[in-house]
Amino acid sequence: MAVLAMFIGIAVFLSVGIMILDGSLSDCSNLEGYNASTPASSTDWAKSCLDNNSGIQNSWILISVILIVIASVIILTIIRML
């Protein structure tokens, strides 16, 4: 039962983290230096904005992997208890 409560607690904390990351994404198309044809070759503030968004997307992937690993460990623990 404690394992299930721990999983629910971790899932709630990760959900809060996802909501924070979701609010930090920016629209870079209106910034100076934005290249509409190839956004990867943008300069100045637009490049910084795009780099920031890329880091946030990597954080999303990391949070998803962490949640999958924790869920699998808990499932294996529950199966072992049976």
Predicted pLDDT at 39: 75
Provide the token pair at 24. Answer: 């930090």
- Say if residue 69's pLDDT is above 70: yes
- Say if residue 70's pLDDT is above 70: yes
Q: What is the CA radius of gyration of the chain?
A: 19
Over the stretch 16-61, which tens digit does the pLDDT of each residue have?
Answer: 777 776 666 677 788 888 877 887 778 888 888 888 878 877 777 7
Provide the token pair at 67. Answer: 């949640």
Predicted pLDDT at 12: 78
Predicted pLDDT at 17: 74
